[in-house]
């Protein structure tokens, strides 16, 4: 569920005034992560790597209050639920979008992920959730990528977490991850905290 709120009554009042009408209000931060445990856990448990990556994004976002607000068409909205969006290649060879609800339970999240992505692949239709603040993800795994900067579309102000192919080393596996967010939604401080939480979740998965 989402509810319109008065920006001036929130901690985002100044950011709303400064950035709501900016022609380019998006900010991108990039951090290289140690994903050794994620890769090992995916292999050990027979879980898709991308599902675990999305789980970690889910867990980190649940810890940052600013994810629950989002600017849309000149207004600010408050949400009570988060979801993760995935882009999948459907059976017709095209791309389809699907949303997976965020949850604290790994097994439940993976079950949602498997069922919803497979349904989207089979039906070749988008499966989007209403009333959720959706965090977009994009995995371009065909090559190693240092940075991804997404295009800005004022119809889609949602945060995006993006990565390419991970890099295997002797003792650890690393992955640069780009995090793009609307400056009205959060500042660099909260975005950096999210990235720190993301590494924490990867370390303890």
**97 CB-near residues (< 8 Å, 6+ apart):** 85, 86, 87, 88, 120, 126, 127, 128
Question: How many angstroms separate the CA atoms of 65 and 169, rounded?
Answer: 35
Q: What is the pLDDT of residues 74-109, one digit of tens each?
A: 999 999 999 999 999 999 999 999 999 999 999 999
Q: Is the pLDDT of residue 46 over 90?
A: yes
What pLDDT score was predicted for residue 91?
Answer: 96
Q: Is residue 109 part of a domain?
A: no
Question: How many angstroms separate the CA atoms of 128 and 67, rounded?
Answer: 18
| Ordered alpha helix ranges (H), 91-162 | 106-123
Q: Is residue 112 part of a domain?
A: no
Q: Is residue 194 part of a domain?
A: yes
Q: What is the pLDDT of residues 175-204, one digit of tens each?
A: 999 999 999 999 999 999 999 999 999 999
What pLDDT score was predicted for residue 155?
Answer: 78
Q: Kindly state the average pLDDT of the residues 143-153.
A: 88
Indicate the number of domains in the chain. Answer: 1
Domain residue limits at 33:
2-6+25-83+132-204
What pLDDT score was predicted for residue 156?
Answer: 85
Q: Is residue 60 part of a domain?
A: yes
Q: Kindly state the average pLDDT of the residues 149-162.
A: 87
Q: Is residue 178 part of a domain?
A: yes
Whether the predicted model's global pTM rises above the 0.85 cut: yes
What pLDDT score was predicted for residue 181?
Answer: 97
Question: How many angstroms separate the CA atoms of 153 and 26, rounded?
Answer: 10
CATH number for the domain that contains residue 196: 3.30.559.10
What pLDDT score was predicted for residue 200?
Answer: 98
Q: Kindly state the average pLDDT of the residues 128-134.
A: 95
Q: Is residue 46 part of a domain?
A: yes
What is the average pLDDT value for the chain, to the nearest integer? 95
3-state secondary structure of 18: helix
Q: Answer for the pair 149, 178: CB distance below 8 angstroms, yes or no.
A: yes
What pLDDT score was predicted for residue 119?
Answer: 96
Placement of tokens 């590494």 in the chain: 199
Q: Which one, of 63, 67, 39, 42, lies nearest residue 136 by Cα?
A: 67
Model confidence band, residue 152 (pLDDT cutoffs 50, 70, 90): confident
Q: Is the pLDDT of residue 154 over 80?
A: no
Model confidence band, residue 151 (pLDDT cutoffs 50, 70, 90): confident
List, as own/partner pairs, every contact residues 34-38 make where C-beta atoms lie below 8 angstroms and the sequence separation is at least 24, other chains included.
34/172, 34/173, 34/174, 34/199, 34/202, 34/203, 35/166, 35/173, 35/174, 35/175, 35/202, 36/171, 36/172, 36/173, 37/202, 37/203, 37/204, 37/205, 38/202, 38/205
Q: Is residue 148 part of a domain?
A: yes
Q: Is residue 103 part of a domain?
A: no
Q: Answer for the pair 135, 159: CB distance below 8 angstroms, yes or no.
A: yes
């Amino acid at each position: 569920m989402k509810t319109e709120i008065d920006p001036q009554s929130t901690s985002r009042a100044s950011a709303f005034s400064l950035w709501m009408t900016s022609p380019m209000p998006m900010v991108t931060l990039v951090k290289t992560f140690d994903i050794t445990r994620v890769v090992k856990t995916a292999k050990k448990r027979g879980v898709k790597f991308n599902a675990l990556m999305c789980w970690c994004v889910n867990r980190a976002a649940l810890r940052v209050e600013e994810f629950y607000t989002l600017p849309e068409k000149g207004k600010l909205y408050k949400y009570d639920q988060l979801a993760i969006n995935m882009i999948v290649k459907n059976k017709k060879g095209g791309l389809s979008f699907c949303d997976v609800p965020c949850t604290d339970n790994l097994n439940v999240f993976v079950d949602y992920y498997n069922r919803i992505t497979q349904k989207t692949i089979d039906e070749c239709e988008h499966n989007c959730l209403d009333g959720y603040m959706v965090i977009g993800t994009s995995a371009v795994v065909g090559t190693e990528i240092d940075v991804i900067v997404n295009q800005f579309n004022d119809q889609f102000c949602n945060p995006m977490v993006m990565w390419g192919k991970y890099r295997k080393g002797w003792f650890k596996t690393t992955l640069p991850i780009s995090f793009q967010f609307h400056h009205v939604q959060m500042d660099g401080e909260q975005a950096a905290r999210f990235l720190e939480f993301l590494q924490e979740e990867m370390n303890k998965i």
